[in-house]
Amino acid sequence: MLRLYCLLFLLLNQALAVLSVDTYSRKDFPPDFIFGAATSAYQVEGAAHEDGRSSSIWDTFSHGGGEVAVDEYHKYKEDVHLMAETGLEAYRFSISWSRLIPNGRGPVNPKGLQYYNNLIDELISHGIQAHVLLYNYDHPQSLEDEYGGWLSRNIVRDFTAYADVCFREFGDRVSSWSTINEPNIFAVGGYDQGVVPPGRCSYPFGFGNCSIGNSSTEPYLAAHNMLLAHASAVRLYKNRYQSKQNGVIGITLYAFWLLPLTNSTEDETAAQRARDFFLGWFLNPLVFGDYPEIMKKNAGSRLPVLTNQDSKLVKGAFDFIGMIHYTTVYIKDNSKTLKLENRDVQADMALTIWFTQDEDDPFGIFPVEYPARPWGLQGLLEYFKEAYGNPPVYIHENGQVSRRNSSLEDTSRVEYLHAYIGSLLDSIRNGSNTRGYFVWSFLDVFELLDGSGSSYGLYFVDLKDPTLKRLPKKSAHWYSHFLKGGRVSPDGTIELEKTFDDSSSGTLVSIG
């Protein structure tokens, strides 16, 4: 049955590739569908040591790399004006826990409170919805020092209290809340591989230069506590705030579409195992109340147990599922790792990930540029629909990476966005319950893995200019034209009714 199930998905992907949309406009999407762009606090704000903000685990991990970032803390009015000129309907940003509650719990920082109130008010005054992320790899370092952050159940209490402050202070103007960003990747990257904050891993696993950690147990424990913290915050919001504030709340997962490298039974089984580990790790508890059976089997006692009480708290604790999607990858079975006495998450998955189908070059050009496989978005959304009951979905990140300081003529990014938004339109017409789409990212930001080495932005930020001037790329022109009702074509060309202003401000002239 499993083999037939995977074969049907392969056939579906081939069929969906044929159905891709060529030319479309904003008007082809449902009227209540939301288009926007996204950033996160540490990646844009800067002002790392100003107005009472404390250090986060991301500050510690990056050795202060985001101290300036792109200085949105001081330039938020300029940036919101630019968003309005571009035609954004929504802006997804995160709140810095370290800026709002510097000690992790206790007193609220008045300057931090004022900043986020000002930012939200500025968005609303320009007709832009505020979609807020509570957590993106950045709890206060003080909590990491005190009890190990996500490795302690104490963080469930502190995260819920932090969320309570956000709901109370900002919720009357926030359309959508996301609790934790890509916890599935954060758990593995931060506690197994050591490549993201807080940089924990143990030999022989991990790629980071870790001095502390346990790759066998900590990823599962951290993820478990994230799941409980998410559910606790959601229940609080629903019980105390939602009926008055009328927002929605969910969690955002990193979501490759995962396909077998070959049509062998082993690879097809491994691909489903990958879906269970990457997506089911959080989706199964949220939808069904427990972890996937294959995870419980392969991880054994290293995977914490969801008690009956935990299961009741977690099951159904979402209004939507956020999705971060960039590309499709291929899965090859590697079941021999299950024979290892000491295993991490990767070994429990018993597979290897290939970014191409070329056996001589399994990683291709990743991560310099994600392979554009827009049909994979359709396969992923179809899987959400069939396996998890078609929940409401927001695509919280999608975009193409390039090397920083590359040309403003980012034709490849335009082609990528056109293909993926067209694929999304096909999915909606096929019954997907997707409600919104956000380009990552609005600006060239401080990236997690390589700082200023790569960029995803619609707008180039000139780090050599003391004013950090923002300049529109071709993709900004394209997206603005689309948002304002213009039709766009597969070659990325658009016909502008008025030209864009290339003045030093970098702002766009309204078109149409």
Catalytic residue set? 182, 397
Helix (H, G, I), strand (E, B) or coil at 233: helix
What sign has the CA pseudo-torsion 289, 178, 402, 374? positive
Whether the Cβ atoms of residue 478 and residue 441 lie closer than 8 Å to each other: no
307 burial via Cβ count (<10 Å: 0-12, 13-18, 19+):
exposed
Residue 455 bridge partners (DSSP): 402
DSSP 502: -
DSSP 322: E
Whether the Cβ atoms of residue 177 and residue 134 lie closer than 8 Å to each other: yes
Determine which helix (DSSP H) or strand (DSSP E) holds 175, and give its type and residue range: strand 174-181
Residue the block writes with tokens 């300081």: 405
Q: Can you give the three-state secondary structure of 284-314, one letter per residue?
A: HHHHHCCCCHHHHHHHHHHCCCCCHHHHHHH
341 burial via Cβ count (<10 Å: 0-12, 13-18, 19+):
exposed
Residue 38 bridge partners (DSSP): 92, 440
Cis bond before residue 412 (omega within 30° of 0): no
φ and ψ of 181, to 5 deg: -90, 130
Angstrom distances, CA of residue 200 to CA of 155, 161, 216, 246, 328: 17, 26, 11, 39, 27
φ and ψ of 397, to 5 deg: -150, 130
DSSP 24: B
Distance in angstroms (rounded) separating the CA atoms of residues 463 and 155: 36
**The two three-digit tokens of residue 129, written as one number:** 């919805």
